[in-house]
C-alpha cells in the first residue's frame, strides 16, 4: 500500500484533465443545488402547522426555512451567551495578569463564570444538576479503576439518553421551558465526554494527590474543565490534557497581531453564519425532509442535490459553532480542535471522521481505539473501530437511524481497511505496476472509491434526515433509478475523488513549504 500511495501521489494529470474534474464536480454541485431551489413550489400554499418557516430578511422578501431545531436553538443561544463570554475572557485575562496564571485561581473563576450563567439561565436546580457529573468523575478518579469508570460513565450516558427521549423528569423538576431543557441535555452530553476524559487521564497517569490541598486543587481543575463555559453547551470537545496545558502555561499577551487574527477569523465565521441563513431563504431542503413521499418523487438532480445540501448545511453549522468557540478558547490560551474541513473535498470514510469533528476523533482515538487495538492485528483494529462506533451510537442517542448511520460508517471503514490490505498485497502491486501507469492506477483507485463515497453519503443522510428518508435513498440507488442515472452519479463522485486527491496533494506541498521556511 505504501508503494501504491506513492504512485498516487506522484501521478499528476495534465491541467486540462484536472480542470475537467473540478468543472464537472463543482458544476454538478451548483446545478443540483439549483434543482433543489426549484422544489420550493411544494411550499407555496404550505399550511405550516409546525412553524417550519418564518418571515425572512425584509430586503429579500421571502420566507426562511427554520425547521432545523439545532440552528433554530443554537444560534439565538450563542447570541445570548456572548456577553457572558466577553466577561469570562476579560476576568480570565485579569487573573492571568495578576496571579501569573495560577491554575487554582483560574479554575475557580472558570467554575464561577459557568455556574453564574447556568444559575441565570436554568436556575439553582440546574446548577446542582450540572455539578453531579464532575463530582462523580472525581469520585471515580479516587477509586482508581479505569474499568469501573467506563462502566459508570456508560450507565450515565444511557440515563441521559433515556431522560431526554422518554423521561422528561428533569424538565418538570427544573420547571424550565422546552428550549432551555433541550440546551441542558446537550450540555449534559458534552460534560459526560469531558468527565470521561479527565477521569481516564487521571487514573491512567496515576497522579492522584495524597494531600487534602492536592485533592482540592485536582477537583477544582477537573470541575473547571467539565464546566468550561465556552465549550459547555456546544463543544467542541477538548481533551483534559490539552485543557491543563492551557491553564498552566504562560499566557500569551493580547497584542495587536493576536486581536487582529481573532477578529478577522470571527468575521469569517460570522460571514458563514449569515451566508447559511441567506441560503435558507431559497433552499427548503430541511423542511422537505419531513415529507418522505415528496422526496421519493424528486427528479434525480434534485434528489441527490438535496442530499448534498443536507451535508453542506450540516458542515456550515459546525464550521460556525466550532469555529467561533475554538477562537474564543484560543484567546483564553486553550487550544481547541479547528473547524471541520469542507465535505466537498473529502472522499474517504477515514478522512471524513478525521477532519470533521476533530475533537471527537481525538477522543475516540485516545480513549477507545488505541487502548483496545493493542497489536497491529487487523482483527483487533476492526474490533477497536467497532467499539468506537458503538460509543458513537450510545453518545448520539440509541435510535434506529443513529444505529444505521453508525453501522454503515463502521462497515464503510471496514471495506476501506480491506481495500488497503488488498492494495498491500504483492499480487495487486505486481499486476498494477505491470499493466498500468501511475496515472491509471490513480484513476482505478478513484473508480473503486466512488461507490464507497456514495455509501458514505447515504449513511450520513440517515443521520441528517432520519430512517425514512435514508431508506428512500437506498431504494432509489439500488432498485429504482435508471442505470444511466447511477452511472452519472458515480461519474460525478469519481470526479469528487480526483478533486479530493488534488486537494490532499496541494496541502502536502503547502505543508512541506511551510516546514522548509
Q: What is the pLDDT of residues 243-267, one digit of tens each?
A: 999 998 888 889 999 999 999 999 9
**Model confidence band, residue 218 (pLDDT cutoffs 50, 70, 90):** confident
DSSP at 50 = T
Supply the pLDDT for residue 130.
92
Is pLDDT larger for residue 53 or for residue 515? 53
Supply the pLDDT for residue 167.
60
Supply the pLDDT for residue 210.
67
C-beta neighbour count of 149 within 10 angstroms = 23
Q: What is the pTM of this model?
A: 0.92
Instruction: Point out the least confidently predicted range of 161-170, 255-264, 499-508.
Output: 161-170
Supply the pLDDT for residue 62.
92
DSSP at 60 = T
Supply the pLDDT for residue 424.
75
pLDDT digits (tens, 9 = 90+) for 323-381: 999 999 999 999 999 889 888 888 888 888 888 889 999 999 999 999 988 766 678 88
Instruction: Point out the least confidently predicted range of 118-132, 209-223, 353-367, 469-483.
Output: 209-223
Beta bridge partners of 55: 63
Nearest to 442 by CA among 17, 25, 16: 17
Supply the pLDDT for residue 4.
38
Rounded-to-integer distance, Cα 92 and Cα 219, Å: 19
Rounded-to-integer distance, Cα 427 and Cα 433, Å: 10
Rounded-to-integer distance, Cα 278 and Cα 298, Å: 24
Strands (E), 133-185: none
- Would you call 436 helix, strand, or coil by DSSP? coil
Question: With contact defined as beta carbons under 8 Å apart, do 188 and 160 qualify?
Answer: yes
Is pLDDT larger for residue 374 or for residue 306? 306
Question: With contact defined as beta carbons under 8 Å apart, do 53 and 65 qualify?
Answer: yes
Q: What b-and-e string marks burial along 22-49, b requiring 16 or more CB atoms within 10 Å of the CB?
A: eebbeebbeebbebbbebbeebeeeeee
Beta bridge partners of 54: 64
pLDDT digits (tens, 9 = 90+) for 406-440: 999 999 888 888 888 887 777 877 887 778 887 88
Strands (E), 91-167: none
Tell me the Cα Rg of the chain.
Answer: 25
Nearest to 284 by CA among 268, 305, 262: 305
Distance of CA 153 to the CA centre of its chain: 21
Supply the pLDDT for residue 1.
33
Mean pLDDT for the stretch of residues 71-96: 94
Supply the pLDDT for residue 33.
96
Per cent of the chain over pLDDT 90 is 60
Task: With a cut of 80, say whether residue 304 has pLDDT above it.
Answer: yes
Domain boundaries, the chain: 2-56+263-516, 102-249
Per cent of the chain over pLDDT 70 is 94
Mean pLDDT for the stretch of residues 220-248: 93
C-beta neighbour count of 63 within 10 angstroms = 18
For residue 167, what is the enclosing H or E element? none
Question: What φ, ψ does residue 51 adopt, rounded to 5°?
Answer: 55, 55
Output the average pLDDT for the chain: 88
Question: With contact defined as beta carbons under 8 Å apart, do 462 and 404 qualify?
Answer: yes
Contacts of the segment 250-255: beta carbons below 8 A, 24+ positions apart:
250/101, 251/93, 251/96, 251/97, 251/101, 251/333, 252/333, 254/93, 254/331
**Model confidence band, residue 48 (pLDDT cutoffs 50, 70, 90):** confident
Task: With a cut of 50, say whether residue 286 has pLDDT above it.
Answer: yes
Supply the pLDDT for residue 408.
93
Mean pLDDT for the stretch of residues 389-409: 92
Mean pLDDT for the stretch of residues 47-73: 91
Rounded-to-integer distance, Cα 15 and Cα 93, Å: 51
Supply the pLDDT for residue 301.
95
Rounded-to-integer distance, Cα 500 and Cα 280, Å: 27
Supply the pLDDT for residue 381.
86
Rounded-to-integer distance, Cα 227 and Cα 107, Å: 10
Rounded-to-integer distance, Cα 49 and Cα 403, Å: 30
DSSP at 356 = S
Nearest to 351 by CA among 487, 507, 464: 507
Supply the pLDDT for residue 132.
93
Q: SS in 3 state form for 238-258? A: CCHHHHHHHHHCCCCCCCHHH
Mean pLDDT for the stretch of residues 52-63: 92
With 0-12 / 13-18 / 19 or more C-beta atoms within 10 angstroms meaning exposed / middle / buried, residue 50 is: exposed
CA atoms within 13 A on the CB side of 380: 10
DSSP at 357 = S
**Model confidence band, residue 514 (pLDDT cutoffs 50, 70, 90):** low
Rounded-to-integer distance, Cα 84 and Cα 116, Å: 9
Q: How far is CA 444 from CA 139, 429, 435, in A?
A: 55, 13, 12
- Would you call 288 helix, strand, or coil by DSSP? helix
Rounded-to-integer distance, Cα 455 and Cα 477, Å: 10
Supply the pLDDT for residue 166.
67
Question: With contact defined as beta carbons under 8 Å apart, do 63 and 53 qualify?
Answer: yes
Rounded-to-integer distance, Cα 309 and Cα 199, Å: 39
Nearest to 406 by CA among 355, 462, 368: 462
Supply the pLDDT for residue 517.
59
Nearest to 6 by CA among 438, 354, 437: 438
With 0-12 / 13-18 / 19 or more C-beta atoms within 10 angstroms meaning exposed / middle / buried, residue 209 is: middle
Supply the pLDDT for residue 72.
93
Amino acid at each position: 500500500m505504501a508503494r501504491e500511495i506513492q504512485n498516487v501521489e506522484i501521478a499528476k494529470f495534465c491541467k486540462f484533465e484536472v480542470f475537467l474534474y473540478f468543472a464537472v464536480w463543482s458544476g454538478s454541485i451548483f446545478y443540483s443545488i439549483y434543482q433543489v431551489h426549484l422544489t420550493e413550489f411544494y411550499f407555496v400554499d404550505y399550511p405550516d402547522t409546525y412553524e417550519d418557516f418564518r418571515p425572512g430578511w425584509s430586503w429579500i422578501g421571502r420566507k426562511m426555512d427554520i425547521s432545523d431545531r439545532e440552528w433554530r436553538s443554537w444560534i439565538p443561544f450563542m447570541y445570548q451567551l456572548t456577553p457572558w463570554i466577553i466577561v469570562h475572557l476579560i476576568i480570565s485575562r485579569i487573573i492571568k495578569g495578576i496571579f501569573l496564571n495560577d491554575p487554582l485561581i483560574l479554575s475557580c473563576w472558570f467554575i464561577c463564570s459557568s455556574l453564574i450563567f447556568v444559575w441565570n439561565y436554568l436556575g439553582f436546580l440546574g446548577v446542582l444538576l450540572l455539578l453531579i457529573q464532575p463530582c462523580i468523575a472525581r469520585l471515580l478518579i479516587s477509586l482508581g479503576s479505569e474499568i469501573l469508570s467506563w462502566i459508570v460513565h456508560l450507565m450515565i450516558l444511557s440515563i441521559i439518553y433515556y431522560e431526554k427521549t422518554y423521561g422528561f423528569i428533569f424538565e418538570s423538576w427544573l420547571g424550565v421551558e422546552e428550549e432551555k431543557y433541550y440546551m441542558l441535555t446537550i450540555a449534559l452530553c458534552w460534560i459526560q465526554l469531558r468527565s470521561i476524559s479527565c477521569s481516564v487521564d487521571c487514573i491512567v497517569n496515576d497522579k492522584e494527590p495524597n494531600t487534602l490541598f492536592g485533592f482540592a486543587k485536582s477537583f477544582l481543575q477537573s470541575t473547571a474543565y467539565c464546566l468550561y463555559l465556552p465549550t459547555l453547551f456546544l463543544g467542541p470537545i477538548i481533551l483534559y490534557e490539552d485543557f491543563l496545558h492551557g491553564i498552566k502555561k504562560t499566557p500569551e499577551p493580547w497584542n495587536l497581531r493576536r486581536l487582529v487574527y481573532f477578529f478577522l477569523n470571527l468575521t469569517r465565521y460570522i460571514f458563514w453564519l449569515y451566508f447559511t441563513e441567506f441560503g435558507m431563504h431559497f433552499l427548503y431542503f430541511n423542511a422537505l425532509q419531513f415529507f418522505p413521499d415528496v422526496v421519493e418523487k424528486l427528479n434525480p438532480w434534485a434528489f441527490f442535490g438535496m442530499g448534498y445540501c443536507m451535508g453542506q448545511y450540516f458542515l456550515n453549522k459546525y464550521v460556525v459553532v466550532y469555529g467561533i468557540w475554538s477562537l474564543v478558547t484560543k484567546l483564553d490560551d486553550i487550544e481547541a480542535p479547528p473547524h471541520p474541513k469542507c465535505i466537498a473535498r473529502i472522499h474517504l470514510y477515514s478522512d471524513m471522521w478525521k477532519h470533521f469533528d476533530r475533537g471527537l476523533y481525538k477522543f475516540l482515538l485516545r480513549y477507545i481505539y488505541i487502548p483496545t487495538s493493542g497489536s497491529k492485528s487487523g482483527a483487533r483494529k476492526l474490533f477497536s473501530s467497532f467499539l468506537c462506533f458503538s460509543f458513537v451510537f450510545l453518545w448520539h442517542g440509541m435510535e434506529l437511524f443513529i444505529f444505521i448511520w453508525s453501522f454503515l460508517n463502521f462497515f464503510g471503514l471496514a471495506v476501506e481497511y480491506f481495500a488497503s490490505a488488498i492494495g498491500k498485497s504483492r499480487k495487486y502491486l505486481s499486476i498494477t505496476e505491470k499493466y498500468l501507469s501511475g496515472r491509471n492506477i490513480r484513476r482505478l483507485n478513484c473508480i473503486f472509491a466512488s461507490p464507497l463515497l456514495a455509501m458514505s453519503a447515504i449513511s450520513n443522510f440517515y443521520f441528517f434526515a432520519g430512517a425514512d428518508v435514508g431508506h428512500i435513498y437506498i431504494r432509489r440507488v439500488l432498485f429504482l433509478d435508471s442505470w444511466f442515472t447511477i452511472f452519472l452519479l458515480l461519474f460525478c463522485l469519481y470526479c469528487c475523488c480526483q478533486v479530493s486527491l488534488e486537494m490532499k496533494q496541494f496541502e502536502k506541498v503547502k505543508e512541506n513549504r511551510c516546514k522548509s521556511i
